[in-house]
Every structure is written in C-alpha cells, then in structure tokens.
C-alpha cells in the first residue's frame, strides 16, 4: 500500500507547493470552530440567565388576605407574656392585652388568628375560660412543658384581641377529649342572638351582642395529638360534628377538616370522598381541608436557629421548597372530587422549626429568627400565591415567642423579627389579583442539594399597582435578572429590600436592628423591561406603576 511506502520526491514537492492552501483551509476551519464555541457560550449563557416575565394583563385569581393569617397557641410565652399580661401589669396594655404587640401586628395587617391550638386545643374546655377570672379552674398543659394553665386568657379575651387587631378569629375545637355538645355550645355562645341557654350565658358574662365567627377547625392533627385516629374514623367524627355545628347568624360557618400527615394523600381522599357523598343534601358539610408542614430538615436533630453553615442553609431551602410538591399532590386529589375548587386548602401550620434557644424550657419552643427564616417565609408565601386558586388560608406557626414568630417579647421589651418584615413587605399582595409569571432561574448547588436561586410572585392591587416580590436564595452571589412586564404602560419603579451581611443576622433585645426594610434602588424600568440586581440572600418587593 502507498501509505506504507516512503514518500517520493514528487510527493514532497507537491506537499510543499500546497502549504499555503493547507494553511488557508486550517485557518478557515479554526475560525469556524471559534465561532461555534462563541455561539455555544452565548447559548449556554442564555440557558442560565435569570429571566422573568410578568403577565400584567392576564390575572384572574385573587390572593386571599387569609393567606396572611397567624397562629396563637397556649404554648410557652405565646399567649402569656407575649399577648396577655393582665390589666394590672406595668406593661402598657388595653384590657390586659399588650399595646406594643397589637400595634406591631396591626401594621402587618394580620387577617385572622387561629386559637387555642394546636395540640392544646384537644385538651381545652372552653367553659373553663369564661366568667370571672378568679373563679376559672386551673389545668395542666400536658402538651407544652407541663405548666399550669390558669385560663385567664379565654374566649372573651381572645375575641377582644381579634377586635383590637381588626382580624377574624379561627376557633379550633376540641374533638379529642371534648364532645359534640361542647363544641356546638361554643358555636351558639359566640354567634347566636336567640333565646337559648348559651346566648343567656354570654350576656351574663358581659357580652350582649354575638360575635362574627365563621372559621371553625374541627379538631387538630387528629392522626396524632388530636386523638390518634384513622382517616375513616375521623371522617365519621367530622361528619357528626359538622352536622351539629349550626349557623345562627347571617355568616355561614366555614368548617375546616383536620388533615393527615404531610405526605398522606390517602387521608385527603378519604375526607374528599366523604364530602362528595353527602354534599348533595348537606350543604356546608365541609369548607376547608387542613395541611400542616414544617420546614425541618432532620426531626432527630433540628439544628440551631442561629448557628448554622451554608450546607444547613441549602438543606433548609431544599426542605421548604417541598411545600409546592405537597400542595400540588393534595390539590390533585381535591381536584378529582372538587374540580370547581369549592373546598379551600388551609395550611394552618407552617414555618421553620429549629432547636429551642439554650437555657429555655424545651416545651416552650422559643427560637430566634434570622434572615434565613425571613427568606423561608418569602418562598412559602410565593408558593401560596401561585396556588391561590386552591389555597385560601395559611397560618404561620406562631405569632409571638414560639417557633417562627413575628414578635419576640421579654418583660416590657419587644423585638420585631426578620420574618415580621417579610410579612410587612408582602402585605401589598393581600386581596390582590395574582399575575402569572414565567421564571427562568440559575441554580445554586451545595452538596446533594440543588435549588433555584429565584423565587418570584406578582400581583395587581385594586388601584392597579403592580407588585413583584423576588427572593434570592443564593447566600453568596447577587443575581442579575431581566424582568419583562407585559400588558402595562408603567414607567416608574420603587422598591424595598430585606437583607443583611451574614446568613444568621437577627434582631435581639438591647441591640440595634440588624435586619430591617430598606429602600431598594437596584431596579431600572425602560419600555416595560426591568433590569434588577438582587443582593445575595435577600427579599425585594418592587412596585411598578
């Protein structure tokens, strides 16, 4: 073969004569390769570029203000010392309720408060908490620290709190250790103006007119502390209770069923199937279905609320993002029986749960609250917004001094947490129309955890103002993004930002605030397109008009 022979003089001469042509071909090929590499680089850049499209003219579903509801349980200092100090306290109060806490909570427009529990609800007998306080019997709070509950904060005090806050009450009834008659009497006591024993008892205790109380939880976590029930057993119990909870006023009761464990879609199906079988002849049997989900990366070792690593940060967000999957799965089961979405999904316990602060009672669940908690709250609120066609109420756990709270108190002092500031910033979304968004986000990776850098939601309020909330989950890197706002001729943008120098920044007693809202100037709007630079580990809300 020729290739195995040594080249002839003629071959070498031809090759030498063709060197310019070879060089030309090589040069052209090299240019093509470089061009292809450049195109690939651009395409790869586009694939990971942060891009958001807000469809400002396409909204139809409303973000219920009740997504911004709270939870106050007789747990630790959540009520006593946090909300209630008594009329004789040196701490400024109105009829025993702290003025500073009420003022702070009114600012974030609390929509509703769930009470008295939680696990406490299923050992609470409401008639022990009415009448002269000196005559009210005491009990042991066996769920939370084994402390004595003196019942000084009862039905009238709770309703006074709701009146002061300008919010609606959510009563969680006792079906674990209580009776149908007991809960039915509570409904009559609160809402009836007729000639009956409970109306007479209420008037005797100083309240002439009935209150407006529409939200009623029929038991709490009945799979566990609410009675260790099966889904079938609870479905029958719920039916029995629901039938005897009567409407006395003009506002129909909104009855909320206990859900199962977070992943238990079979429980959801059991309740929905029961609803479907009776709804044709028993209107108002079921109005809401409860889902509880806490952000706890490891129940055996929850970890510190303030001393954590970047790995812990990523694990926390990977865990909290599962909320979307849970809502989608339970929503799909509910859609099978209720495609019209008449039954609301009620996430009436959610939030971060870490180890208690060192030196505090383990049963009081008192934890600090950092920038990490604030961004967790923003992510969850964005998820609730996205699913507002089904999610009609959520209650973060809890309002004061317990778990992921809005407010911390110590004697006469009060601290506003980073989570509080997210709720303040996001209050613009209450009862606004959800605007569809498309989000293309870079990914953040730490170990086995990969999360999207961006979490986004948008709404249009009754005055036509557009609000876009953006969270950057990356603890180290700022995110640049292009946000196209379609269907509007807006020309102005303003904003607020919540961030801090460190992941674990928090507000504490006797120190200047480390985390609070600041004006945001990192957004420019030109011809309907926003250019935004989000600081690392931050939450931003923009107003476009």
Q: Which residues are catalytic?
A: 221, 349
Beta strand 112-115 with 69-71 is: parallel
Instruction: For residue 321, give both structure tokens.
Output: 């993002």
Six-digit token string for 476: 């180290």
Q: How far apart are CA 9 and CA 14, in angstroms?
A: 9
- Residue 513 class from Cβ within 10 Å (0-12 exposed, 13-18 middle, 19+ buried)? middle
Residue carrying the six token digits 């989608």:
328
CA separation for the pair 89, 409 (Å, rounded): 14
Contact 516, 500 (CB under 8 A): no
Neighbour-count burial for 216-247, b at 16+ CB within 10 Å, e otherwise: bbbbbbbbbbbbebebeebbebbbebbeebee
46: left (phi over 0), alpha (psi -120 to 50) or beta: alpha
Please tell me the distance from the alpha carbon of residue 126 to that of residue 46, in angstroms, as a whole number: 60
- From the list 181, 125, 197, 134, the residue with the least C-alpha distance to 155 is 125
Is residue 64 within 8 A of residue 393, CB to CB? The reply is yes
Dig out the tokens for 468 from the structure.
């876009």
Chain-centroid distance, C-alpha 406: 12
Check: CB of residue 356 under 8 Å from CB of residue 367: yes
The Cα–Cα gap between 323 and 293 comes to 7
- How far apart, in Å, do the first and last CA atoms of the chain sit? 80
Query: For 95, left (φ over 0), alpha (ψ -120 to 50), or beta?
Result: left
């Amino acid at each position: 073969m020729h290739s195995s022979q040594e080249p002839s003089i003629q071959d070498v001469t031809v090759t030498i004569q063709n060197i310019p042509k070879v060089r030309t071909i090589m040069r052209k090929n090299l240019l093509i390769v470089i061009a292809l590499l450049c195109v690939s680089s651009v395409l790869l850049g586009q694939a990971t570029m942060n891009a958001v499209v807000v469809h400002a003219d396409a909204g139809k579903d409303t973000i219920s203000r009740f997504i911004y509801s709270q939870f106050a349980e007789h747990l630790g200092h959540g009520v006593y010392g946090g909300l209630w100090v008594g009329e004789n306290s040196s701490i400024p109060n109105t009829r025993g309720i702290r003025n500073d806490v009420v003022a702070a909570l009114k600012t974030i427009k609390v929509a509703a408060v769930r009470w008295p529990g939680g696990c406490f609800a299923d050992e609470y007998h409401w008639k022990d908490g009415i009448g002269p306080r000196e005559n009210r019997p005491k009990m042991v709070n066996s769920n939370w620290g084994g402390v004595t509950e003196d019942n000084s904060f009862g039905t009238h005090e709770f309703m006074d709190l709701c009146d002061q806050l300008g919010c609606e009450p959510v009563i969680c009834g006792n079906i674990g250790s209580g009776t149908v008659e007991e809960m039915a009497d509570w409904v009559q006591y609160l809402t009836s103006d007729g000639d009956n024993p409970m109306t007479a008892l209420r008037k005797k205790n100083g309240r002439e007119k009935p209150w407006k109380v529409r939200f009623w939880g029929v038991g709490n976590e009945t799979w566990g502390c609410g009675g260790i029930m099966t889904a079938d057993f609870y479905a029958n119990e719920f039916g029995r209770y629901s039938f005897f909870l009567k409407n006395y006023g003009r506002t129909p009761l909104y009855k909320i069923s206990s859900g199962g464990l977070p992943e238990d879609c079979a429980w959801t199906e059991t309740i929905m199937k029961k609803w479907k079988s009776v709804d044709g002849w028993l209107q108002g049997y079921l109005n809401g279905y409860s889902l509880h989900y806490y952000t706890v990366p490891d129940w055996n070792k929850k970890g510190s609320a303030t001393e954590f690593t970047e790995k812990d940060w990523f694990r926390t967000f990977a865990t909290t993002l599962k909320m979307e999957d849970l809502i989608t799965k339970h929503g799909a089961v509910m859609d099978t029986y209720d495609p019209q979405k008449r039954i609301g999904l009620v996430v009436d316990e959610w939030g971060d749960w870490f180890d208690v602060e060192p030196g505090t009672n383990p049963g009081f669940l008192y934890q600090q609250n950092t920038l990490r908690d604030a961004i967790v709250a923003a992510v969850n609120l964005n998820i609730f917004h996205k699913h507002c066609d089904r999610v009609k109420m959520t209650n973060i756990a809890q309002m004061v001094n317990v778990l992921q709270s809005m407010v911390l108190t110590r004697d006469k002092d009060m601290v506003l947490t980073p989570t509080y500031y997210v709720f303040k910033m996001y209050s613009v979304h209450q009862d606004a129309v959800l605007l569809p968004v498309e989000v293309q986000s870079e990914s953040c990776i730490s170990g086995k955890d990969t999360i999207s850098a961006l979490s986004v939601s948008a709404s249009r309020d009754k005055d036509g103002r557009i609000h876009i909330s953006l969270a950057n989950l990356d603890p180290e890197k700022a995110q640049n993004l292009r946000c196209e706002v379609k269907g509007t001729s807006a020309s102005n943008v303003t904003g607020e930002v919540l961030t801090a120098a460190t992941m674990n920044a928090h507000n504490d007693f006797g120190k200047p605030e480390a985390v609070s809202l600041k004006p945001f100037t990192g957004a420019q709007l030109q011809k309907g397109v926003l250019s935004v630079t989000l600081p690392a580990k931050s939450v931003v809300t923009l107003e476009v008009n």
